[in-house]
Amino acid sequence: MAPFPFEQWLGPGSYIIYFIIGILFGAVLEMSGFAKSTKLAAQFYFKDLTVLKVMFTAIITAMLLIFLTSALELLDYDLIWVNPTYLWPGIVGGLIMGVGFIIGGFCPGTSIVALATLKIDGLFFALGTMFGIFVFGETVQRFQNFWNSSFYGRVNLPELFGLPTGIVVLLVLFMALFMFRGGEHLERIYGNKNLKKEPKTRYIGAGIMISIAVVILLLGQPTIEDKWEWIAEEKQPLLQNRNVHLHPGEWLEIYYDDSRKLVTLDLRDERDFNLFHLKDARHIDINDLAPVSSWIAKLPANAVIVTVSNNEKNAVKAWKILMAQKIPNVYILAGGINNWLRTFAEKREKVHPNKKWDEALPYEFDKALGSRHPLSEPSEKWLEKLEYEQKVELVKKVRRQGGCG
């Protein structure tokens, strides 16, 4: 599903498409007056709020198109790059850019638009931007901790407020329209603008946007089950061929490997988890996995995620949920906890098997030791005894990127 992999289709020719999009974007900015520093700076004095109108129009148009096509199942939102949130660095960076904006009359992007139209002030601002990038690159190691602090990963408003996407889309749209109307009155007060001369077609545009937002609200967004169906043809063979089922020995190998971060998600009920679980495993109800999986997406690129249940039933369900949400490097503990105990338990261990297997825990424990049980963290020496096929192949995550439009 879209976003379309132009690089795979066109190879180097994909850059022609990106070049055309960039030219059109720059042309729209220039036609909007973004090449004039005086026009841009006027927004800070409430005389001309063109910047607010153009940028927010672009934002809500993109929002409506993204979630409309998502609702129509033409677009998988999980495939779209969303800049991760670094809260305090973002706030400080925004303040610095804002000060530079009001002093110089440009932001980095609009200075390039001015430069393209051969404006001298745009040239000097662009040169200043390049110099600032150089200085930042040479000094960032001095404040590296702050630069990477308050990381929240990929955050969006529906997740943040726990509201349906359609409701948030409608609220953001009304907020933007309110700002547009308030901005016009500020222009009338501080910029002596005659609102009667403003085009009436803007009301038609607002009506169209509201209609689209209502359609998005009524259609709703694809469920986890829908998203799994989109990828089932590609991913189901991985389950059937057991390409994503980790032998307990490979789990242990990764546990003792400092170059990889092991994240174990235990999907069993709380009683079984309290009786026994693997070292550092996180207990989570499978019904809560999809809503809280945003924290899983924040994990570093070297993270290996392993889903665990007593056998494999719930672990497979959890694997499908995470696959549907485009979480990389997710695997299943082969045979679950039952197979783990069969693999590592020795006669001296006080683990007594019952007859029941299925998804139940077929072992009796004298105490609820959780991860304090000796079998939760077997010795690294076990790796010399076990033979298994390695399954883990780390898939690289998209690197942190982004910038000012």
Question: What is the pLDDT tens value at each position of the chain, 405 positions in all?
Answer: 666 676 777 778 888 888 998 899 889 999 988 999 999 999 899 999 998 899 999 999 999 999 999 999 888 888 788 888 899 999 999 999 999 998 999 999 899 999 999 999 999 999 999 999 999 999 999 999 999 899 887 788 998 888 999 999 999 999 999 999 999 999 999 999 888 888 889 999 999 999 999 999 999 999 999 999 989 999 999 999 999 999 999 999 999 999 999 999 999 999 999 999 999 999 999 988 877 677 787 788 899 999 999 999 999 999 999 999 889 999 999 999 999 998 998 765 667 676 555 567 878 888 899 999 989 999 999 999 899 999 999 876 544 444 454
In this structure, how many other beta carbons lie within 10 angstroms of the beta carbon of residue 219?
Answer: 15
Return the SS3 of 278: coil
Task: Please give the pLDDT value at position 401.
Answer: 43
Between β-strands 303-308 and 330-333, what pairing exists: parallel, antiparallel or unpaired? parallel
The one-letter amino acid code at 34 reads F
- Left (φ > 0), alpha (ψ -120 to 50) or beta: where does 222 sit? beta
Q: Assess contact for 395 and 331: CB atoms under 8 A.
A: no
Task: Please give the pLDDT value at position 291.
Answer: 73
Phi, psi of 343, rounded to the nearest 5 degrees: -75, -45
Beta-ladder partners of 307: 265, 332
- Left (φ > 0), alpha (ψ -120 to 50) or beta: where does 76 sit? beta
Phi, psi of 376, rounded to the nearest 5 degrees: -75, -20
Q: Which domains does the chain have, with CATH numbers?
A: 6-223 (no CATH), 225-384 (3.40.250.10)
Task: Please give the pLDDT value at position 399.
Answer: 43
Task: Please give the pLDDT value at position 400.
Answer: 41
Task: Please give the pLDDT value at position 347.
Answer: 60
Q: Please tell me the distance from the alpha carbon of residue 344 to that of residue 204, in angstroms, as a whole number.
A: 70
Task: Please give the pLDDT value at position 359.
Answer: 66
Task: Please give the pLDDT value at position 350.
Answer: 65
